[in-house]
Amino acid sequence: MKGVKKQNLPSKMCVVCNRPFSWRKKWEKVWDDVKYCSDKCRMNK
Taking only the tens place, the pLDDT of each residue in 9-26 is 999 999 999 999 999 999
**pLDDT value for 16:** 95
Q: Is residue 18 part of a domain?
A: yes
Number of domains the chain contains: 1
Burial of 32 (C-beta count, 10 Å sphere; 0-12/13-18/19+): exposed
45: pLDDT strictly greater than 90:
no
Give me the helices (H) in 1-45, please.
39-43
Q: Which pTM was predicted?
A: 0.75
Q: Is residue 1 part of a domain?
A: no
Q: Is residue 23 part of a domain?
A: yes
More confident residue, 4 or 20: 20
Q: Is residue 39 part of a domain?
A: yes
Domain that holds residue 27: 6-43
